[in-house]
Amino acid sequence: MKNNLSMIPLLLTKNWNLAVKIASSLFRIGKARYLLKRNFGFDHFKNLALVYFKPTGACNLRCKTCGQYGDKGVMNDCAAEENKKILPLETWKKFVDEIAPQKPTIYVWGGEPFLYPDLFPLCKYMVDKGLLISVNTNGTFMEKHAEQIVRDKWGTIFVSLDAFREVNDDLRGKGVYDKVIAGFKAIDREKKKQKAKYPMLGMVTVVSNKNYMDLANLSEASREYNIDLHVYNLGTYTNDNIVATQKQFMKEKLDTDIDCLESYNTGYNLGIDGKKLHVILKDIQEKNFGHTILTVPTLNPEKTHTYYAELETPVRNHCVVPWCQLNVDYNGNVHFCADYPDYIIGNITQQSAKEIYNGERANKFRKALNESEGGMFPGCLRCYQNMLFGRKIKGF
């Protein structure tokens, strides 16, 4: 299967400027591998390549596999209280000013980012500063805002779509499929009308036991969506044993109680026939749909079965996240791990970005990670960030 860099040549032909910015971030993420042993007394901030913004934790959907609102979502019991805690635009702008000199790629997600009331001014502020922004959305607000998205020159949009109408809407909610398709069409229409190159349009499909048998047909249909990139996210899954081990580990090493990993213990990996999925993904990769196809992680197709059926077998290790990335939540809390906001390294309302990134809690985390077997905590076996940028284990 193709690796992350395989998208660059096609992007170069479509949008040179965007391809260069993405390549620059990937280069710094690659460089992070050589910084892994450095903890205290080193300016890690210089290598900040990717910053996740979660301006809101609120969401209009309740997707079944989601770590926040899914069957075991961490937000299910506390959303009403938590979603009152969003930060004002000025706080985010100040934070942007602090990180902009490092020229990181910005990944705006949520919750559903369109529910943050100042999403447009925030994104415009970052685009005007020359930052590459990617917005990850469920796509349900895209049609309504297509004109402004194109006018404001957002770099890329990654839209979640898991399947055709029946299965997608079973997983994500009634009417979602039609809204997403209408959104794709609206963006395409606006790009033509405004003669614009931006945004690059990506589709993200989370592979589960509910949709994997129909992925080939979805790929065929995607020819019509005029997308630039289709990411097959092989999905974040875990099990009771991994959760228990990680709980104990985080308590002992970092004195932290964790809640988030359990939210991916959903069982939507169970029963996936790795051999069949391998054939499906291989066929998809071999076809030319006019857009780039990526799987995350890029996996030796013969190991597809292992990915879903043997969750305790690592496929990536030596996580680089704390040496090149960070995630800021809706309440200003900063974490390394976007999907597991348990260990807080600071808060942007109280400290500068650089203080947080080079601070004691950040370095304690780096040290614990460096000292762990394979440079990875026991709970991170299928973590999306590690799947994207961790070191490939031989054979996988």
Ligand X SMILES: C[S@@+](CC[C@H](N)C(=O)[O-])C[C@H]1O[C@@H](n2cnc3c(N)ncnc32)[C@H](O)[C@@H]1O
Which chain residues interact with ligand X by CB under 6 A? 59, 63, 65-66, 68, 109-110, 112, 136-138, 160, 204, 206, 233, 235-236, 264, 384
Least Cβ distance, residue 136 to ligand SF4 (angstroms): 8
**Six token digits for residue 195:** 């003669």
Residue whose CB is less far from ligand X, 327 or 363: 327
Residue 264 binds which entry of ligand X, ligand SF4, none, CB below 5-8 Å type-dependent = ligand X
Residue whose CB is less far from ligand SF4, 112 or 262: 112
Least Cβ distance, residue 233 to ligand X (angstroms): 5
Residue 235 binds which entry of ligand X, ligand SF4, none, CB below 5-8 Å type-dependent = ligand X
In three-state secondary structure terms, 294 is: strand
Least Cβ distance, residue 206 to ligand X (angstroms): 4
In three-state secondary structure terms, 353 is: helix
Least Cβ distance, residue 356 to ligand X (angstroms): 23
Residue whose CB is less far from ligand SF4, 15 or 208: 208
Residues in the chain: 396
End-to-end CA distance of the chain: 11
Least Cβ distance, residue 91 to ligand SF4 (angstroms): 22
CA triple 299-302-307, angle to 5 deg: 55
Residue 69 binds which entry of ligand SF4, ligand X, none, CB below 5-8 Å type-dependent = ligand SF4
Please give the backbone phi and psi of residue 133, each rounded to the nearest 5 degrees, phi first.
-115, 140
Q: Tell me whether residue 288 is exposed, middle or buried, using C-beta atoms within 10 angstroms of its C-beta: 0 to 12, 13 to 18, 19 or more.
A: exposed
Residue whose CB is less far from ligand SF4, 112 or 329: 112
Residue whose CB is less far from ligand X, 52 or 343: 52
Residue 206 binds which entry of ligand SF4, ligand X, none, CB below 5-8 Å type-dependent = ligand X
Residue whose CB is less far from ligand SF4, 98 or 169: 169
Residue 62 binds which entry of ligand X, ligand SF4, none, CB below 5-8 Å type-dependent = ligand SF4
Helix, strand, coil shares of the chain, percent, nearest 5, are 45, 10, 40
Residue 233 binds which entry of ligand X, ligand SF4, none, CB below 5-8 Å type-dependent = ligand X
Q: Are 353 and 261 in contact (CB under 8 A)?
A: no
Residue whose CB is less far from ligand X, 47 or 211: 211
Q: Which residues pair with 230 in a beta bridge?
A: 203, 293
Please give the backbone phi and psi of residue 199, each rounded to the nearest 5 degrees, phi first.
-85, 155
Calpha distance 195→388 (Å, rounded): 33
Can you tell me which residue has the tokens 């079965």? 305
Calpha distance 58→72 (Å, rounded): 16
